[in-house]
């Protein structure tokens, strides 16, 4: 006997796909930690990406060297630099990217690596002060309970 599949709700597990207009994060090379837009898919391994105004020139990039983000913009396949720049500004891609937790983590990591010895010491001392405050409050609550 046949089962009626309309009773089941199928939910796709994976939602980020390489598509034209997808915003990607470059993971390696000269443009590491910069975002770009997929302009065209060349083959099963590479895509043509461009990031006018984002600091990434148009070039072919391997899928292994990029991470797919949740952001997309509406552009035509193989669009030239002018329309891509307009679409990026219209969609406000840079601000949307900066608002993501992913971008914030990358910014925090780069800030952390750029600290000098004294700044690292200040971070350590502030961490200790914060932990001391939290510990004393926790002990007060524990004692009153």
Q: pLDDT band at 1, cuts 50/70/90?
A: low
CA angle 65, 70, 73 (to 5 degrees): 95
Nearest to 45 by CA among 60, 59, 34: 60
Per-residue CA distances from 17 to 4, 8, 64, 98, 144 (Å): 29, 24, 14, 21, 53
45 has a pLDDT exceeding 90:
yes
User: So what's the pLDDT on residue 145?
Assistant: 80
DSSP state at residue 9: P
Strand order in the sheet with 46-51: 56-62, 46-51, 35-41, 22-26, 66-72
Per residue in 79-135, pLDDT tens?
A: 999 999 999 999 999 999 999 999 999 999 999 999 999 999 999 999 999 999 999
Binning pLDDT at 50, 70 and 90, where does residue 12 land?
confident
According to DSSP H, which parts of 1-116 are helical? 81-91, 93-99, 101-113
Name the band, by pLDDT with cuts 50, 70 and 90, for residue 8.
low
For 69-89, the pLDDT digits (tens) are: 999 999 999 999 999 999 999
Q: What is the pLDDT of residue 16?
A: 87
Q: What are phi and psi of 18, to 5 degrees?
A: -75, 120
**Exposure letters 117-127 (e unless 16+ CB within 10 A, then b):** eeeeeeeeeee
Residue 6 reports pLDDT greater than 70:
no
- The CA distances from residue 20 to 15, 40, 123, 134, in Å, are 15, 6, 43, 49
Q: By percentage, how much of the chain surpasses pLDDT 90?
A: 88
pLDDT of residue 96: 96
d(CA 94, CA 53): 9
Task: Tell me: pLDDT of 138 over 70.
Answer: yes
């Amino acid at each position: 006997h046949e089962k009626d599949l309309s009773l089941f709700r199928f939910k796709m597990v994976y939602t980020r796909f390489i598509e034209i207009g997808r915003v990607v994060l470059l993971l390696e090379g000269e443009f590491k930690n910069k975002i770009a837009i997929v302009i065209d898919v060349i083959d099963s391994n590479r895509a043509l990406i461009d990031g006018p105004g984002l600091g990434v020139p148009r070039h072919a990039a391997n899928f292994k060297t990029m991470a797919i983000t949740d952001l997309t913009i509406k552009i035509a396949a193989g669009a030239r630099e002018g329309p891509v720049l307009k679409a990026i500004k219209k969609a406000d891609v840079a601000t949307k990217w900066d608002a993501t937790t992913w971008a914030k983590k990358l910014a925090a990591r780069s800030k952390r690596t750029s600290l000098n010895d004294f700044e690292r010491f200040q971070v350590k001392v502030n961490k200790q002060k914060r932990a001391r405050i939290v510990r004393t409050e926790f002990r007060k609550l524990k004692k009153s309970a």
